[in-house]
A and B are shown apart, each in its own frame.
Chain A
């Protein structure tokens, strides 16, 4: 019996090759899209699942409440960790990680790399995370000073082999460090990554000599500074809440008495960091759970559309088989066996689609990964929970999609089938199919208009002036990314070297302006407490402040609307000069720019006077509003060169820069980035959303047209006779196409009416988050609707024309 069913199913699939292909590929594409999105969501939801120490692994978070604004930090003061195991019986092991970027080279080689994620770590790191060592002894690898553990990738990068035990490496020109181990790096879905591990105390040796003593003090006794990520491995069965509860007493005993009220420390599960951490200063970007849910829903919607198609197309082909149903009933088939047969067929078809979807997923993964900026892999066997979910999806989709046509087909009474001669049966419940079509197109139109709105918003941002000139500017970091430099006093030789470097660059006509600053415009700036004669400490005014060199305003073409910009010739600007922007005037209670000039201003511990007021410029992405800003000249805090390239001979100029850099700053590898590209990074998430939305809107509309194609074919088949009669009576082809298309186009219009307000509402919510946003562009809905109508009409029209051109003699011939 089963073989019999499979046989007839296969033959039917073959007989209706066209339909089968459409049905199958539609479902396969829908499933593949859904699977891809779920893979992504699964990937995001299972961060840090791979640690063998898994559920016992926590990070200590720093809840700080200074100056009235509470926030959570991912790093805690350094002296805490060594005290934890002895004072908390629940804690088995503790390891600190201090990440920084660092320049690295093999001893004796002059090829220098910048490692983005060098970690200075306690030797317990291997026990806490359960690192998997490929070479070296895990128990002792980090015990001795100046030992170094590399990941496979770093070893390859440095030595082009992983057989590197005992090789000598310099970090920031210090060392040498001996390689004592090679480990597998953390996979993609970890909240933190490292390129190499060096002993924690050696971080001091990576600093310039004058900075070492202050740093040692910080590590030993600074109970305030948020410094190292601190991971805790609890004993089996230990309750993290009891650790949290015991922390206040611990602080009373060891901590700084001045901060007791303002500090709290809590364990946060490492597995939850990626999705749920609220900490400032996470090592890597977190996922936005709202976007994840959105992706999941989009996946489900695409799958829904594909299933709807499946129902519609299956029903269409089954209509051609009512005669078979009748014959089978006459031969004794019960309703149950017919339902079984048809359900079996849809399950077979959806199984084929499922297999095709798996192949598609594997084929599309690299592209999808590139779209989402991650590397995804799917191995059906090792990823079995996900595979199980997929199998479940296919079963549910197959049963849902199959049950309607199955019951529909088996319900016919044979007497009706035969009495209407030739097996023309009525279409079944039309409203259901209409609802399905409307649903499909609503989803498609909503996705298209949503995507268009995102694109319009991005385009708006692209054309909005930032208020400073960023063309052809590259940024060159002065030192490795390393918060330890905050604790160092200014390096007296550094300022001289910076100036000399600048002078040398200016001799090259291809180099334009060069300047230095503590941060780049467009990426925010730290807030500092501000006082003036009108504003006291109690007013709690915190403004963004940027430290810039004298030529910063010229380089970025900032204009003063009152007073002047900084100038070396005034002699005292680096001691007491401040610039404020227009927006700052209001908060600082000065009525006109002129009024501000010469007024006293205190930023943190630095006192001076306002020498000029500049035009506002954007200190962050356009998602954020313009903010008041204070500029000053404090050379000790400079971190980055901004260099404008003059010519079109960019590669040569960059080579020149790199060579000159090596002369002046041998301890640091030359790195650069174009500011334009960095600024574009502010809109990464929005651009990803646009790409994703665009692609899936395309798939949704494409699949909807598949469904529409099936329905119009069905309708044409049902109305063959009517069309024949109309033709005999003199109807034109155009008239007939119109007749056939009219109903479907109406449905698309209804879909537009449903989709537009929903999309409008949702996108309005999205736009509300942005300080600089477009007003809702109504043309978007017109375009989305027109696109849907056009595509629908193309689909319907094609079939309509074919039906209208058919020979009426054939359709009217009776048996």
Chain B
């Protein structure tokens, strides 16, 4: 599903070049649940952004579902990621001015889903995540765990093939974190490809494969 060859990413400031990612070669198949670990500054988030097409590599090739993403322009990339990729953030990144219902509905708007279909899809997800009662509340009125639940709901409403989660439980209490991780496990069982970044060894145990980054290189890549 994902093929990265010789991917590199660096920042230039004056004469200095700071490497963030170097010589990354990865192949991720459909249905895998990958955990990316590593200390701060090892390039985890950058790797996620590259895979999620929010950022462009400075070198190397990136194939997503056999499409050469590194050759695409912004419009085509946007198109690809809007149909196949869902994001979950550590800080939830819900839109404060929208209700739970509207937050979940937003990706469908950008996909041009018809109103009636949208209603059905949002209702189904609300029901599945047990947040029907909360649908008219604003993010500020929810607990962290509930917000992240909405974040996940929003990420998967479009039935993406790939779910990217950047420290999804980083801001949560352990019990809430566990709830989110169980949700991921369930989604994985249903066949969704998931890549998560985490510092937490416990969370890593939910995955099927562990990639450890250090200083921009892949240090370890093993099946769990």
**Residues of A in contact with B (beta carbons under 8 Å apart):** 1, 4, 7-8, 11-12, 15, 323-324, 326-335, 337, 413-415, 418-419, 422, 815
**Minimal Cβ-Cβ distance residue in B for A331:** B107
Is B45's CB under 8 angstroms from A419's CB? yes
Please tell me if the beta carbons of B95 and A330 are within 8 angstroms of each other in the complex: no
> Nearest chain-B residue to A327 (Cβ)?
B93
Q: How far is the CA of A1 from the CA of B74 in the complex (A)?
A: 23
B97's partner among A1, A8, A332 (CB-CB below 8 A) is A8
Give Cα A333–Cα B109 distance, bound, in whole angstroms. Answer: 9
Determine if B215 is an interface residue (Cβ-Cβ < 8 Å): no
Residues in B whose Cβ lies below 8 Å from that of A422: 91
Which chain A residues lie closer than 8 Å to B61 at the CB level? none
* A326, A327, A413, most chain B CB atoms within 10 A: A327
User: Assuming A415-B54, A415-B55, is B97 touching A12 (CB within 8 A)?
Assistant: yes
> Which residues of chain A have C-beta atoms less than 8 A from B52's C-beta?
330
Q: Which of A1, A4, A330, A815 contacts B54 (CB 8 A)?
A: A330
Question: Other CB < 8 Å A-B pairs besides A414-B54, A415-B49, 11 of them?
Answer: A1-B109, A7-B102, A324-B95, A327-B95, A332-B78, A332-B83, A418-B54, A418-B89, A418-B93, A422-B91, A815-B90
Point out the residues of chain A lying under 8 angstroms from B54, CB to CB: 329-330, 413-415, 418
Flag whether B81 is at the interface (Cβ < 8 A).
yes
B98 at the interface (CB under 8 A from A): yes
Q: What distance in Å separates the Cβ of A570 from its nearest Cβ neighbour in chain B?
A: 95
Task: Out of B90, B93, B96, B106, name the residue touching A326 (CB < 8 Å).
Answer: B93
Which residues of the other chain, A, contact B89 by a CB distance below 8 angstroms? 418
Which residue of chain A has its CB nearest to the CB of B83?
A: A332
Question: How close is B167's CB to chain A, nearest CB, in angstroms?
Answer: 11
What 0/1 pattern do residues 51 to 90 of B give for CB contact below 8 A with A?
0101100000000000000000011001001110001011
- Bound complex: CA A7 to CA B103 (Å): 12
What residues on A are CB-neighbors of B102 within 8 Å? 4, 7
CB distance from A341 to the nearest CB of B (A): 11
Q: Considering only CB atoms, which chain A residue lies closest to B112 in the complex? A: A1
Report if B29 contacts A (CB, 8 A): no
Please name the residue on chain B nearest to A8 by beta carbon: B97
Pairs A–B under 8 Å by Cβ, sample size 24: A7-B98, A8-B97, A11-B98, A12-B97, A15-B97, A324-B97, A327-B93, A327-B94, A328-B106, A329-B78, A330-B52, A330-B54, A331-B106, A332-B78, A332-B81, A332-B110, A332-B111, A334-B110, A415-B46, A415-B49, A415-B54, A418-B49, A419-B46, A815-B90
CB of B176 within 8 A of chain A? Answer: no
What is the CB-to-nearest-CB distance from B162 to chain A, in angstroms, rounded to a whole number?
13
> How far does the alpha carbon of A333 sit from the alpha carbon of B81 in the complex, in Å?
10
Complex Cα distance A580/B194, Å?
A: 108
Q: Which of B52, B94, B98 has the most CB atoms of chain A within a 10 A radius of its CB?
A: B98
**When A and B form their complex, what is the total count of cross-chain residue pairs whose Cβ atoms lie within 8 Å?**
72
From A8, A413, A815, contact of B95 by CB (8 A): A8
Q: For this complex, into which size category does the number of interface residues on chain B fall?
A: 20 to 34
Nearest CB of chain B from residue A414's CB, rounded to whole Å:
5
A710 CB to closest chain B CB (Å) equals 20
A332 touches B107 (CB 8 A): yes
A490 to B82, CA, bound (A): 100
Does B3 lie at the interface of the complex (its beta carbon under 8 Å from any beta carbon of A)? Answer: no
Q: Which residues of B contact A327 (CB under 8 A)?
A: 93-95
The distance in angstroms between the C-alpha atoms of A329 and B96, with both chains bound, is: 16
Instruction: Give the residues in chain B near A414, CB-CB below 8 Å.
Output: 54
Give the residues in chain A near B93, CB-CB below 8 Å: 323, 326-327, 330, 418
The DSSP consensus for interface residues of chain A is helix
B91 with A815: CB separation less than 8 A: yes
**Which B residues are CB-close (under 8 A) to A11?**
97-98
Shortest B148–chain A CB gap in Å is 14
Question: A328: which B residues are within 8 A, CB to CB?
Answer: 95, 106, 110
CB-based contact B154/A331 at 8 Å: yes
CB pair B78 A8 closer than 8 Å: no
B171 with A332: CB separation less than 8 A: no
* Chain A residue contacts of B106, Cβ below 8 A: 4, 328, 331
- Nearest B residue to A333 via CB reads B110
Chain B 136-158 against A: per-residue CB contact (8 Å), 1 yes, 0 no?
00000000000000000010001
* Contact across chains for A334 and B78 when beta carbons are under 8 A apart: yes
B69 to chain A, nearest CB (A): 14
Give the nearest-CB partner of B95 in chain A: A324
Give Cα A12–Cα B87 distance, bound, in whole angstroms.
24
Tell me the minimal C-beta distance from A336 to chain B in angstroms: 9
> What is the chain A residue whose CB lies nearest that of B91?
A815
Given contacts A337-B110, A415-B55, A815-B171, contact A330 B45 (CB under 8 A): no
Bound CA–CA A745/B38 (angstroms)? 49
- Determine how close the nearest CB of chain A comes to the CB of B157; give it in whole angstroms: 10
Nearest CB of chain A from residue B63's CB, rounded to whole Å: 20
Distance between Cα atoms of A415 and B95 in the complex (Å): 17
**Residue ID in chain A nearest B164 by CB atoms:** A330
Bound-state CA distance A11–B138 (Å) is 11
Q: Is the CB of B109 within 8 A of A334?
A: no
- B109 lies within 8 A of A8 (CB): no
Q: Which residue of A has the minimal Cβ distance to B154?
A: A331
What is the CB-to-nearest-CB distance from A430 to chain B, in angstroms, rounded to a whole number?
20
Chain B hits for A324, CB < 8 A:
95-97
A15 to B138, CA, bound (A): 13
Q: Residue of A at shortest CB range from B52?
A: A330
Q: Which chain B residues lie closer than 8 Å to A337 at the CB level? A: 110
Contacts of A413 in B (CB 8 A): 54-55
Q: Is the CB of A4 within 8 A of B109?
A: yes
Question: When chains A and B are docked, how far (Å) is the Cα of A642 from the Cα of B17?
Answer: 94
Residues of A within 8 A of B105 (CB): 4
Residue of A nearest to B75 (CB): A334
- Distance in Å: Cβ of A187 to nearest Cβ of chain B: 50
Expressed in whole angstroms, the Cα–Cα distance for A12 and B98 within the complex equals 10
Q: A335: which B residues are within 8 A, CB to CB? A: 74
Enumerate B19-62 residues with CB–CB distance to A below 8 Å.
Answer: 45-46, 49, 52, 54-55
- Write out the residue numbers on chain A whose beta carbons fall within 8 Å of the beta carbon of B78: 329, 332, 334
Determine the residue in chain A with the shortest Cβ distance to B111: A332
Q: What residue in chain A is nearest B82 (Cβ atoms)?
A: A332
CB distance from B141 to the nearest CB of A (A): 14
B55 to A, closest residue via Cβ: A415
In the complex, what distance in Å separates the CA atom of A607 from the CA atom of B27? 120
A residues less than 8 Å from B83 (CB atoms): 332
Q: Which residues of A contact B111 (CB under 8 A)?
A: 332
The distance in angstroms between the C-alpha atoms of A125 and B97, with both chains bound, is: 68
CA distance A1 to B87 in the complex (A): 22
Chain B residues within an 8 Å CB radius of A323: 93
Q: What CA separation (Å) do A327 and B96 show in the bound complex?
A: 11
Judge whether A8 and B98 touch: CB under 8 Å.
yes
Looking across the interface, which residue of chain B has its beta carbon closest to that of A9? B97
Pair B97/A330 contact, Cβ less than 8 Å: no
* 5 nearest A-B residue pairs (beta carbon): A332-B82, A332-B110, A415-B55, A11-B97, A331-B107
Closest B residue to A335 by CB, please name it. Answer: B74
How far apart are A317's CB and chain B's nearest CB, in angstroms? 12
Q: What are the residues of chain A within 8 A of B98 when measuring CB–CB? A: 7-8, 11
Closest to A326 in B: B93
For residue A155, give the distance in angstroms from its CB to the closest CB of chain B: 63
In the assembled complex, the Cα of A789 lies from the Cα of B125 at a distance in Å of 58
Report how far A415 CA is from B109 CA in the complex, Å.
Answer: 22
Kindly state the separation between the CA atoms of A599 and B109 in the bound complex, as whole angstroms: 101
Report chain A residues within 8 Å CB of B107.
Answer: 331-332
Which residues of B are found within 8 Å of A418, using beta-carbon distances? 45, 49, 54, 89, 93
Q: How far is the CB of A334 from chain B (nearest CB, A)?
A: 5
Which residues from chain B contact A333 at a C-beta distance below 8 Å? 110
Q: Contact partner of A330 among B87, B90, B91, B171, CB < 8 A?
A: B87
Shortest Cβ distance from B171 into A: residue: A815
For A8, the chain B residues whose CB sits under 8 A away are 95, 97-98
Scan residues 101-135 of chain B and give those whose CB is less than 8 A from a CB of chain A: 102, 105-107, 109-111
> CA separation between A552 and B151, bound complex, in Å?
95
Bound together, the chains give a CA A332 to CA B111 distance in angstroms of: 7
A656 → chain B closest CB, angstroms: 77
Q: Which residue of B lies closest to A414 (CB)?
A: B54
